[in-house]
A and B are shown apart, each in its own frame.
Chain A
């Protein structure tokens, strides 16, 4: 313990130089046991370092470069002509779809994140209880991890039948009032109670299938958090006369809440990268037309929006979450 403190007490410049001395034979730092450890450690993560430099950093720089250029395929390669912010300007100001799609997706996502977090938390709490048939229910609830991956969720929406059915279902609902949530919505909005709030809630209820298909991993994460809570905490609370409801808010929720952030970030990323996401579809379409410059620019804008979203979520959640010292 004292050793590490001593290292950190060194000035930044010395530490920076030492970071390199570790790998260069023939100096005092090289021979210490810490630097031998450090070399072994770096050897272990070497695959990641190589991969990051060659297959992540390099393509990112190239893609940033490409987004600033007009690319054209020519035999034996492609040609790039410098075009400063032309692609970005086109995406934001001229492209009739792109802005609209992004705004739509953000709206949908804000609602989806909240409902995914709430639903997966509630389900994790339920799945953590003892009841008959728990194994079967767990098997079913983690099925979406498989069923909503890769090609599977998007493929259904690729044909006209799906659109047609959507339209038919909508008109039937409108005509006959079969849709329960719609009629409930009418009832409630007639009585004039905060109509906007109900709109949002009904949107959540209507998209519950999508939400549950997207929350497999989140349930697993919450469940692992719940299982790491020591039962003795609940026993102590029970002895002190704490009701189950109080125990939930005083023990369960604070212990699991750090995972809210992990899950929120995972949900945002998952939502941003889905194949059936409208913006993603548009980017893929442009990409398949081999307009690499423009598709790069669009994905950079999209990536920027995603990062912004993650930052906002992090700030909001960190304010309301208790962390232990670890």
Chain B
């Protein structure tokens, strides 16, 4: 700074430096306060939940206790674990989320590469449909998907309207796929899962940014299409694919909408169990008692907090370990539209 201002009179230089210094400090103090406030706002509910989840019930009604529990207990966790059939539902959630996210990323990567690199007839049309898939709320088609899979038959629409179909013609009954996870996997393998249009879009942005000369060199050396894709393109794309996978995994983990529609009723999935926890409470606490008791509202809130903590903590830990890949690779996708 001094070298820049050597030609100026000394006095003015000092005033200038002080002014700049104050401005700089002012900005960073303002920024610090703003960011601290907003960060606090994001984290505070989580901390509150964590602390209320280990309180005993009587602490809830003690007005001298604001956040820190006086009597620490893990009973709440036990109750919630019982209500949500805990170890089983968590294991189911884990493998289902992994499987579904894997299928989704496999198919979306292929499709995104196709869109980024090849020219084919009706390309713009199909890509417009990808955007449409992002925009169309799944709720619009949820009821018809339900009926499609509950009475699965070919040809798909015709059978629903006329109640006639090929399988029904042969065996007399349509197949009920609702009892299995086949529909879930089928939809994931064909890019129709939760927010898959978004992943196609993101991956396509990435592949478009990779220089074409890489593949051309491979083709010249006699490398086939699939070989080039797997050996040349994929290794470089690992970070962005990993972050898409994380998105898919996390959103699958907390998803209730698809879980309600496609997961068989007898299979416990944590998010699904959590979403009905309030109605289960009275049943759970009144089991074996003669007079029905209403679960107090504060207690309900506490048990919900426990459920949310159980659901979110694995994800937060996962996120903290992977955040570097996550943020960096998303920055890499670039912004050209």
B209 to A: closest C-beta gap in Å: 10
Interface flags, A47-70, vs B, CB<8A=1, else 0: 111111011101111110110000
A51 to B307, CA, bound (A): 35
Whether the pair B117, A41 counts as a contact (CB closer than 8 A) is: yes
Size bracket of the B interface: 35 or more
Interface class of chain A by DSSP:
helix
Chain B CB within 8 A of A212 CB: yes
Interface stretch, picked from B11-19, B65-73, B129-137, B283-291, is B129-137
- Determine the chain B residues whose CB is within 8 A of the CB of A151 once the complex forms: 254-256, 271, 274-275, 311
Report Cα–Cα, A218/B35, bound state, in Å: 17
Knowing A54-B156, A55-B186, A212-B41, the reply to whether A159 touches B304 (Cβ < 8 A) is yes
Q: Decide: A287 and B143 in contact? CB cutoff 8 A.
A: yes
Q: Could you count the A-B residue pairs with CB atoms below 8 Å apart for me: how many are there?
A: 278
Pair B139/A224 contact, Cβ less than 8 Å = no
Taking residues whose C-beta sits less than 8 angstroms from the other chain, chain A's interface range is 35 or more
B257 touches A (CB below 8 Å): yes
- Interchain CA distance A296-B140 in the complex, whole Å: 6
Q: Which of B28, B39, B123, B300 contacts A159 (CB under 8 A)?
A: B300
Instruction: Choose one: B111, B138, B192, B278; the contact of A158 (CB below 8 Å).
Output: B278
* CB-contacts of A138-168 with B (<8 A): 138-147, 149-152, 154-156, 158-162, 164
Known: A224-B335, A262-B337. A59 touches B144 (CB 8 A): yes
Q: Does A209 contact B41, Cβ atoms closer than 8 Å?
A: yes
A257 to chain B, nearest CB (A): 10
A-B contact pairs, 11 of them (CB 8 A): A38-B121, A41-B120, A59-B145, A62-B144, A63-B141, A63-B143, A152-B311, A152-B312, A221-B335, A224-B335, A299-B137
Which residues of B line the A interface, CB within 8 A?
A: 28, 31-32, 34-35, 38-39, 41-43, 46, 107, 110-111, 113-115, 117-123, 126, 129-130, 133-148, 151, 156-157, 160-161, 163, 173-174, 186-187, 189-192, 200, 225, 247, 250-251, 253-257, 271, 274-275, 277-278, 297-298, 300-301, 304, 307-308, 311-312, 315-316, 319-320, 323, 326-327, 330-337
